[in-house]
Every structure is written in C-alpha cells, then in structure tokens.
A and B are shown apart, each in its own frame.
Chain A
Amino acid sequence: MTTFTAEAYQNEYLPADGGEVNAVVTVTASGAASAITSTQAAEVIIVDVSGSMSHPHAKLTAATRATAVAIDCIRDGVMFGVIAGNDTATAVYPQEGGLVAASPQTRQDARQAVAQLQVTGGTAIGSWLALANELFAATPAAIRHAILLTDGRDEHETRTELEAVLADCEGNFQCDCRGVGTDWQVQELRRIATKLLGSVDIVAEPADLEADFQAMIERAMGKATGDVSLRLWTPQGATVAFLKQVAPTIEDLSDRANAVDTLTADYPTGAWGDESRDYHLCVHVQARAVGEEMLAGRIGLMVGGEAVSQALIRAIWTDDEQLSTRINREVAHYTGQAELADAIQEGLEARKRGDEHTATFKLGRAVQLAAAAGNSDTMKLLAGVVDVQDVHTGTVRLKPRVQDADEMALDTRSTKTVRVKKPGS
C-alpha cells in the first residue's frame, strides 16, 4: 500500500495590505515497492519508422535494439504492445491489434516483429498517439505508460490535428518522449510530453538509446498508484496565480486545473512510485486586517477519488516587518530554479534569432543561478554553449560554434531542478 504525505513550507506572515501567498509543498509517496506486483500496468512502445530513420542507418538499428531491451524489461503479466509510426500508425506487435500479457514467449515474439521493421514515409505523430490511445482504452490497467521515439518533426499533419489527438489522449495514458538525432523540434515534443504528463529528452547518440529505454521502462514499472491528483482549495475572492511542479522538473500545472466547484480544482499528476515531488503554489488573496489569519489554500492528494493527505497554506497579517519580509528558503530556492529554466530557454531563443546581447545576458544569468543553487548537470550543459568567465557575476561569452545536440540537450533539460540544499551541506 502506498502512503502519501504532504508538507507545506512557507512564510505565512504578510505585511498589511499584502495579498500574495507563496508556499512549497513536498509530496512524498512511500511503500510503493511492495504494492507494485498487484498493480495492473500497460505499456505501449511507439517507434518512428519514417524514411529519415535510416539516415544514418544506425538510428533504426539503435531504435530497434532499444525497443528490444525495453520489451525485455516489461515484467510478466503487464499488458503491452508495439506501434510503428510514419504517416500512419501500424500495430507491429501484436499484429492483430490490442495488447497482450508479457511472458517469455510474447516478449520473444515482439522482439522478432520489431527486428523486421522497415522504414518508409513521413511523420504524423498524432496518428501514432491515437492508435496508442485506442489500445489503452481496451485495458483496465491503472498504470498506462507509453514511450514515443522519433527523429523528426511532425510534418504530415496539421497542428490542429495533433492538438485534437492530444486532447483525446490527455488523462488516458502518460507518455515519455525521446528525440533521436538533432532534426526534431524540442518545443513540439515538449508540448506532447507536457500534455501527457511525461518527460522529454534528447538521445543524441543512438548508442545511448538502450540504457535510456531501460531506465524509462523501469521507472514506469515502478509506479504503483495511477491517477493521482492534487486537489487545491482556495478561499472566496482568491486567485491561483500558479501551481507548478518544481522538482524533479518544472511543469506548470496551472492550465491543467479541472474545476470541482467554484473554490476547488483538481490537477492531475499521473502515476506515482516511491518518490517525492515539490510544488510551488502562489495564491493572491484579499488582504485582511493586521492580526487576522486566513487559510489561503488547502492542498490535498486525491487517489482513486479519495482524499489521502493534505497540507495547509496559511496567511497571517502582521505589522512586524521582521516577520513579513522573511523569504522562506524553499520558496526562494524554487523561484531561482524557475528563473534558471526561463533564462536558459530565453537565452537559447535569443541566440537562435541572432540577438547576441540578450543571449549573453540570459545565459550568463543562467550560469550564475545554476552555480549558486548547485545545478552541476545544468552547468555542464551550459558550458557546451557558452565560455564561462566568472560564475559569480554571470560573465560569459557565447561560443562561436555550438553543436546542435549540445544546444538541444540544454533546452530539453532546462526544466530539471535540484532540491534545496540542506543547511550546512
């Protein structure tokens, strides 16, 4: 049985007339490991077989090998299937459509079917997702996860078609997206992954695919509780400025709100294993008199329609400036992490359109923030794009020549955050 706990970190003191309440809520799930075997799961692997996958041919070889590794990681009893995608989607295994329970025999049959994949045609990712959605619709499994691997842009359908499919799929399954090579678009895959509560990343070297697929499947199989939502209540007259997941990655959840009543909304968070995630909530409330207290938010976890744990976000108005000007450490940390992600994305954007001034400024700021918060992985990625002269002042020089893969890796991973350093460490 998985248990959830929610804990709020905030400075609840507001100055007179102050109305902005910030809090970081840490949600931790534990006990999943023992619950996994009893949880029904379904897995669909979607492999791009468009013509470009054979340029170079190593891409297809790596993709089919990685798919085979992923299939091997699917534990017995999990319902699974493999889809090949180009301008349309084809069920590769089982060929007659539907999903089959994993067993030594079915895994071997699936590997054989994947080994015979041929490449041809274009890229219409929406049609692939639509087929996956159909396959998932037929299973009662609580954990429904897909892996999408592509090397190109979604060129053979309109954005409206893709958006319509995403709207259909939303909430039905989670999808981790991987781009191989450097011809795909970060924004496009990020849009799909965000909508389907998954991750997005670049696999620049086809040879790295196997390990990545294995990790993704293991993570998906480690989930024990599907369909977990955050339920947020705010008082009359309050507005939710934003609700963001801030660790392990930044995901703005604000747009995902499903209203329960006028004061309450649910935010889907997908499936959970043994893990901990942090959320940053910002609520604007109507100021009350000094000395008054107000509950500015109640964040609860909804698992299968039941409330399991909650954290309270409070506001107390005070004229003691020492209290009201204090910034909570967790809130400050994640505000910095969000600024870091923005600085990277804005810096890369500026670089692309030739605005070197803005690019240097933004990426310099990113270096400064990453160094201060200890984002060592992000620092390494930044070093692929700029020459760092001084981390403390954020003085950098744009590299004249940058590998596409380095730039895309920095862009896709810009939303990965680090947790708050424990005091004294």
Chain B
Amino acid sequence: MSATCPRGHLSETTDYCDQCGAPLEHRSPPPPAGAPQARASTTSPPTEIEVSPDTKPSVPAEPCPDCQTPRVGSDKFCEGCGYNFASGESAASPTPARSLSGTAGAWEALVEADREYFERTSAEEIDFPSHCPPRRFVLDQPEISVGRHSPTRGIRTQIDLSGAPEDPAISHLHAILLRQDDGSYAVMDPGSSNGTTLNDDPMPIAPNTPVPLADGDRIHLGAWTTITIRCS
C-alpha cells in the first residue's frame, strides 16, 4: 500500500510521507472518533494542514542560481553546492579563516600531509597522497571548525579539508579550535569518527573536552593530516 503526499512524493508509509514527513490526508488506521490519538506525551489537538498551491507536485523544479542543479522539493539547501534557497546565500559564505598575512603574535594553523604520522597509524587501504601542498590558515576567530565541508549535510567548516587530495578518514565536523582567554587556542574533538591525537601521544583526546595548545603542537587527524599550531 502506498500514498501520495501533498508535496508529490510517493510514500510507502501511510501516516506521514516517508520522504518529507508531511502528514498524509488519510492516515491509516484512522483514529476512531472521540478516541485519543495514538501518540505520546502532549495533549494538544492535532493541527489541520491546508495544502497551499505552490507545494503541489506540478511545479517544475527551480534550478540553483549558483550551480543550476534542480532544487529538490522545497529543500532549503541545494543538493549540488549547498546554496541556501531561503536566504540566497552561496555555500561558501561562513567567513572562511583568512589565509595568511602574518601579523606578529598571531596564531596560525599549518595543514600538511604527514608521512611520519601516516606510517605510524594508518590502515593499508589508504594511500599517502603523492602531492599535497601545505595549507595555512590564520586563526582569527574565537571558534574555528575543522573538517570536510559537506554542502548536502549543511556542514561548513572554516578550515575546510575537503579539497583534493582529500583525507578520507576526516569527519565532516572533526575538530574545533577554541580561543582561550590568553589568545592561544585549545582543540576539541566533538566526537569525530576516528578521533584526534596530539603530538606523540597515541591515545585520542577525550571527546568534547578542550585541550590547550602550545606553539608547535601537532594535531593529528584522519589518515595522514597533521595541523601544526604556531604563534608568529
């Protein structure tokens, strides 16, 4: 048994659309008249939904102004590039960490492919990249996220490690650099899949716990990525 939802999806579930979660007109089994609805916790009456004409399936998909990928339903973000249909912002917007200018006393992060770390830890099925230019980022915000940018998942990191060559073992949101009161930074792992280690310590740092960093500390993440924190 299947049903069509107000947004035009074919749904195998008949209570709510199995694509977009919209309530379906004739939920089955329908609640008997006068009986409480089979749902938990709150006591408020169900809200009747009117289907507005612009959500009817016949409306052709609007292309993304940035990359021309057709918009899926009324998705807020473009599947292709993460363009925000609602606000009209391009995906690249959340102020990326400035790449270097070199002020005195400034903290910076140097991202490199680290063969020594790779040899020490990595799985056989991952290859060390043949060419990986070092990338530098100035740390000039109180909170700087590190990871592999994912437009479809709505994750945008200031230090974006998704460019080629891409380290496959880095989570979309892998680590966060937090500015301390004295201007230095601490690193926190918000619970990445493969963990984050510091310098020569083989044990990963505890998730959700900021660990203060000193000039020259090396943050290891993924299969071969090392971020060296420096104060110039």
| Chain A residues with a Cβ under 8 A of chain B | 7-13, 158-160, 164, 185, 187-188, 191, 233-239, 252, 254-255, 263, 284-286, 289, 291-296, 298, 311-312, 314-316, 318, 323, 328, 342, 345-346, 349, 353
B26 within 8 A of A: no
Q: How far is the CA of A284 from the CA of B193 in the complex (A)?
A: 20
Q: Using Cβ atoms and an 8 Å threshold, which residues of chain B touch A323? A: 44
Q: Is the CB of A13 within 8 A of B44?
A: yes
Number of residue pairs across A and B with beta carbons under 8 Å?
106
Q: Is the CB of B206 within 8 A of A345?
A: yes
Q: Using Cβ atoms and an 8 Å threshold, which residues of chain B touch A286? A: 74-76
Q: Using Cβ atoms and an 8 Å threshold, which residues of chain A touch B120? A: 158, 160
Q: Which of A187, A252, A291, A349 contacts B49 (CB 8 A)?
A: A291
Q: Which of B13, B22, B40 contacts A311 (CB 8 A)?
A: B40
Q: Is the CB of B123 within 8 A of A233?
A: no
B103 within 8 A of A: no
Q: List 10 tightest A-B contacts by C-beta distance, closest first.
A: A235-B21, A295-B16, A295-B21, A159-B202, A294-B21, A8-B40, A286-B76, A9-B41, A160-B121, A237-B75
B154 within 8 A of A: yes
Q: Is the CB of A349 within 8 A of B206?
A: yes
Task: Please name the residue on chain B nearest to A292 by beta carbon.
Answer: B49
Q: Is the CB of B191 within 8 A of A312?
A: no
B47 within 8 A of A: yes
Q: Using Cβ atoms and an 8 Å threshold, which residues of chain B touch A349? A: 206, 209
Q: Is the CB of A235 within 8 A of B39?
A: no
Q: Using Cβ atoms and an 8 Å threshold, which residues of chain A touch B146? A: none
Q: Is the CB of A291 within 8 A of B47?
A: yes
B17 within 8 A of A: yes
Q: How far is the CA of A235 from the CA of B19 in the complex (A)?
A: 6
Q: Using Cβ atoms and an 8 Å threshold, which residues of chain A touch B33? A: none
Can you show 19 pairs from A to B with CB atoms below 8 A apart? A10-B41, A10-B42, A12-B42, A159-B203, A159-B204, A263-B18, A286-B74, A286-B75, A291-B47, A291-B49, A291-B50, A294-B16, A295-B17, A298-B13, A311-B40, A312-B16, A345-B209, A349-B209, A353-B212
Q: How far is the CA of A237 from the CA of B72 in the complex (A)?
A: 10
B153 within 8 A of A: yes
Name the distance in Å between B123's Cβ and chain A's nearest Cβ. 7
Task: Please name the residue on chain B nearest to A294 by beta carbon.
Answer: B21
Q: Which of A188, A293, A314 contacts B203 (CB 8 A)?
A: A188
Name the distance in Å between A249's Cβ and chain B's nearest Cβ. 16
B4 within 8 A of A: no
Given contacts A235-B20, A293-B23, contact A255 B191 (CB under 8 A): yes
Q: Which of A158, A294, A316 contacts B20 (CB 8 A)?
A: A294
Q: How far is the CA of A295 from the CA of B21 in the complex (A)?
A: 4
Q: Which of B122, B153, B191 contacts A252 (CB 8 A)?
A: B191
Q: Which of B18, B77, B122, B203 contacts A187 (CB 8 A)?
A: B203
Most B CB contacts (10 A, CB to CB) among A234, A235, A296 go to A235
B46 within 8 A of A: yes
Q: How far is the CA of A129 from the CA of B200 in the complex (A)?
A: 25
Q: How far is the CA of A269 from the CA of B202 in the complex (A)?
A: 28
- In this complex, how many residues of chain B approach chain A with their Cβ under 8 Å: the count is 42
B208 within 8 A of A: yes
Q: How far is the CA of A237 from the CA of B204 in the complex (A)?
A: 32
Most B CB contacts (10 A, CB to CB) among A233, A286, A318 go to A286
Most B CB contacts (10 A, CB to CB) among A9, A164, A292 go to A292
Interface residues of B in 17-38 (CB under 8 A from A): 17-23
Task: Please name the residue on chain A nearest to B51 by beta carbon.
Answer: A292
Q: How far is the CA of A383 from the CA of B208 in the complex (A)?
A: 24
Given contacts A159-B121, A292-B49, A294-B20, contact A328 B41 (CB under 8 A): yes
Name the distance in Å between A191's Cβ and chain B's nearest Cβ. 8
Q: Is the CB of A236 within 8 A of B206?
A: no
Given contacts A235-B19, A237-B75, contact A293 B49 (CB under 8 A): yes
Q: Is the CB of B203 within 8 A of A295?
A: no
Q: Is the CB of B123 within 8 A of A164?
A: yes
Given contacts A159-B202, A160-B121, A294-B22, contact A10 B40 (CB under 8 A): yes
B80 within 8 A of A: no
Q: How far is the CA of A242 from the CA of B122 in the complex (A)?
A: 27
Name the distance in Å between A423's Cβ and chain B's nearest Cβ. 13
Q: How far is the CA of A285 from the CA of B20 in the complex (A)?
A: 10
Q: Is the CB of A254 within 8 A of B123?
A: no
Given contacts A237-B76, A255-B191, A342-B208, contact A158 B202 (CB under 8 A): yes
Name the distance in Å between A322's Cβ and chain B's nearest Cβ. 11
Q: Is the CB of B40 within 8 A of A316?
A: no
Q: Using Cβ atoms and an 8 Å threshold, which residues of chain A touch B75? A: 236-237, 286
Q: Is the CB of B20 within 8 A of A346?
A: no
Name the distance in Å between A343's Cβ and chain B's nearest Cβ. 11
Q: Is the CB of A7 within 8 A of B40?
A: yes
Name the distance in Å between B36's Cβ and chain A's nearest Cβ. 14
B151 within 8 A of A: no
Q: Using Cβ atoms and an 8 Å threshold, which residues of chain A touch B52? A: 289
Q: How far is the CA of A61 from the CA of B28 in the complex (A)?
A: 63
Name the distance in Å between B204's Cβ and chain A's nearest Cβ. 8
B73 within 8 A of A: yes
Taking A159-B204, A255-B191 as known contacts, 4 extra A-B pairs with beta carbons closer than 8 A to each other, sorted by chain A number, are: A10-B40, A160-B123, A293-B46, A312-B15
Q: Using Cβ atoms and an 8 Å threshold, which residues of chain B touch A11? A: 42
Q: Which of A9, A254, A293, A353 contacts B191 (CB 8 A)?
A: A254
Q: Is the CB of A239 within 8 A of B203?
A: no
Q: Using Cβ atoms and an 8 Å threshold, which residues of chain A touch B22? A: 292-295
